[in-house]
């Protein structure tokens, strides 16, 4: 009888673990604090056509797979992540300072990789920020 009970408990446990695979991931983002010094940095690049075009090229190379073509967080890799990619078209995203967007791209966190080594030229990250501003 004891063995039968253990088998039932194991099956119930495996069933519960299997159900976890179908629990949707958290579609809200945890607060992402940005130090004031970073938040207050000014983008040295003007948001002109050349900078935006450069930013779009880099975005397509480094960001689109998770954040999606239009910045809605629906790229092909997004479903594989534990955290929500965010929606760059939302006012809450667009209201952040350029410095905050630069910091988050440069430093990364959780599923979001740090790009300080992948994109070592700071002006390239600023160009991505300029491109992200067009995703409204």
Residue range(s) defining the domain that contains residue 73? 34-132
Task: Give me the pLDDT at residue 1, please.
Answer: 59
pLDDT tens-digit map of 79-123: 999 999 999 999 999 999 999 999 999 999 999 999 999 999 999
Task: Give me the pLDDT at residue 3, please.
Answer: 60
What distance in Å separates the CA atoms of residue 6 and residue 73, rounded to the nearest whole number?
Answer: 44
Quick check: is 9 in a domain?
Answer: no
Quick check: is 49 in a domain?
Answer: yes
Q: List b or e across 16-54, with b for residues whose CB sees 16 or more CB atoms inside 10 angstroms.
A: eeeeeeeeeeeeeeeeeebeeebbebebebebeeebbeb
Quick check: is 13 in a domain?
Answer: no
Quick check: is 2 in a domain?
Answer: no
- What's the CATH number where 86 sits? 1.10.760.10
Task: Give me the pLDDT at residue 7, please.
Answer: 47
Quick check: is 20 in a domain?
Answer: no
Residue 81's contacts (CB-CB under 8 Å, 6 or more residues apart) are 25, 66, 111
Structurally, the chain folds into a number of domains equal to: 1
Quick check: is 12 in a domain?
Answer: no
Res. 24: pLDDT tops 50? no
What distance in Å separates the CA atoms of residue 126 and residue 109, rounded to the nearest whole number?
Answer: 18
Quick check: is 125 in a domain?
Answer: yes
Least confident among 5-9, 14-18, 73-77, 129-133: 14-18
Quick check: is 39 in a domain?
Answer: yes
């Amino acid at each position: 009888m004891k063995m039968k009970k253990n088998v039932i408990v194991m099956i119930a446990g495996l069933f519960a673990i299997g159900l976890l695979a179908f629990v949707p991931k958290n579609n809200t983002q945890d607060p992402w604090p940005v130090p004031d010094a970073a938040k207050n940095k000014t983008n040295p690049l003007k948001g002109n056509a050349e900078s935006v075009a450069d930013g779009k090229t880099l975005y397509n190379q480094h960001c689109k797979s998770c954040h999606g073509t239009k910045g809605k967080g629906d790229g092909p890799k997004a479903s594989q992540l534990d955290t929500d990619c965010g929606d760059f078209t939302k006012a809450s995203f667009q209201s952040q300072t350029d410095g905050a967007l630069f910091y988050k791209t440069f430093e990364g966190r959780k599923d979001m990789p740090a790009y300080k080594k992948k994109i070592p030229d700071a002006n390239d990250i600023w160009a991505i920020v300029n491109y992200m501003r067009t995703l409204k």
